[in-house]
Structure 1
């Protein structure tokens, strides 16, 4: 860990992360502890995935903030309690970025399998962005909403409810992370597919467990990113075997 802390580039990245987090706290986008958590996760990702990792986190953060802020009045009519939110807390940051942080730590302690962990990191972030965009923008632009388990029409905004428009938007989000990580090619396709699968798992968990108050939204988000990471690894290994 010592060489990492003495790396001039990482020192600059850490400083920039801290400045960005201060700005986010001032703007009300993150609570104080959420900002500290985000800075730590960002540093871990940068230490293992370098500029690609920072780029993925930057894309996720910017698009998530824009999507969350978009058509806020409409969302408040659907979810009146959303008006009371004052910024993401540390648990929400860990729910979306915790798996990326775990894969970063695994990469540091098991560098011989770094390529696996970085792909899992990208897949988890693809799922996190897909989930955020599909829920935030699908709520606004969706036309017909269906329960992902029964496929029956249900009200917009309920746990486990999806729309075609939201699903497509989520897939685009997963694709953006995939392109950021790997450009065009097989790896990008794997990351994008894993992100879409993770997003579907989020809806399934929402319909099966969250709606019954068995788990909360933060746990759903953590599990869907973890599922995407595992799905990405399995797809990668499968392609390797067939290749």
Structure 2
């Protein structure tokens, strides 16, 4: 990675206050709607605040879409999931562990960018990739349980019950791919509409718009598959919990996006 590039834009106190209010509103509404429990809402506030102040305010839009989409996927067919015993939690409410395992990497990307160690292009790619990987895994898990005969990713001939760690299916894989692509499309749309971050050199970016669609979508899907491999191995062996598996898979996807961005742009 290149040495220090530039720090993110310094915010005025009133801008920080607005971001705090917006982050609080997102977390508060999510808690009131039972999308998140209290601990999850507090962590969501911190992740939103860090991402918007150290990264870019419009990253709040991406986080909001991710949280909303995840909740809808969780609630989809919830009574059937209850019968199978594979529901996320009571009423689909997500807790602190889930929020942290999915949101820690995007927040870390914002912190690294705010410290000046990433260019705006690198930060946007890594942030979008992290959310794409998180969305892909969430949708694959929530939709894949409806597959009649999932198989173990490390042993494709072995059929496993729905919801098994490391289990994959065609419908789950399709959901993962579409959700990763959707997050990439939303990211591009948001930044085209609101404007690119200060310091973003569009003329020198070349095919960056295509890369913003391609890299996060590809790596988000790949991160979901890595999550399944880790679930079938490290999680089953007791080396990692579900949250740890999510964090490693999302973090790996975001890290790989940086050298790939440089490779495809050169």
1:144 partner SS = coil
2:165 partner SS = coil
1:151 partner SS = strand
Counting only pairs closer than 5 Å after superposition, residues 49-60 of structure 1 correspond to structure 2 as: 49-60=55-66
Greater fraction of residues in helix: 1
TM-score by length of 2: 0.82
Flag structure 1 segments of 5+ consecutive residues without an equivalent.
none
Of residues 191, 199, 213 in structure 1, which corresponds to 2:216? 191
Please report how far the alpha carbon of residue 157 of structure 1 lies from its aligned counterpart in structure 2 after TM superposition. Answer: 1.1
Please report how far the alpha carbon of residue 92 of structure 1 lies from its aligned counterpart in structure 2 after TM superposition. Answer: 1.6
Please report how far the alpha carbon of residue 230 of structure 1 lies from its aligned counterpart in structure 2 after TM superposition. Answer: 1.5
TM-score by length of 1: 0.89
2: CA distance, partners of 1:217 / 1:161: 14
Q: Does 1:240 align with 2:265?
A: yes
* More divergent stretch after superposition (72-81 vs 115-124): 72-81
Q: Does 1:4 align with 2:29?
A: no
1:98 match: 104
2:79 match: 73
2: CA distance, partners of 1:70 / 1:86: 9
Please report how far the alpha carbon of residue 144 of structure 1 lies from its aligned counterpart in structure 2 after TM superposition. Answer: 2.9
Is the contact between residue 122 and residue 177 of structure 1 (CA under 8 Å) also seen in structure 2? Answer: yes
1:28 partner SS = coil
2: CA distance, partners of 1:63 / 1:81: 16
Please report how far the alpha carbon of residue 25 of structure 1 lies from its aligned counterpart in structure 2 after TM superposition. Answer: 2.1
2:122 match: 116
Of residues 183, 186, 192 in structure 2, which corresponds to 1:180? 186
Structure 2 CA distance for partners of 1:149 and 1:46, relative to 1, 3 Å? same
Is the contact between residue 45 and residue 101 of structure 1 (CA under 8 Å) also seen in structure 2? Answer: yes
Of residues 143, 150, 163 in structure 2, which corresponds to 1:145? 150
2: CA distance, partners of 1:75 / 1:226: 28
2:256 match: 231
2:241 match: 216
1: CA distance, partners of 2:175 / 2:86: 24
Moved over 3 A (4+): 80-86
Please report how far the alpha carbon of residue 73 of structure 1 lies from its aligned counterpart in structure 2 after TM superposition. Answer: 1.1
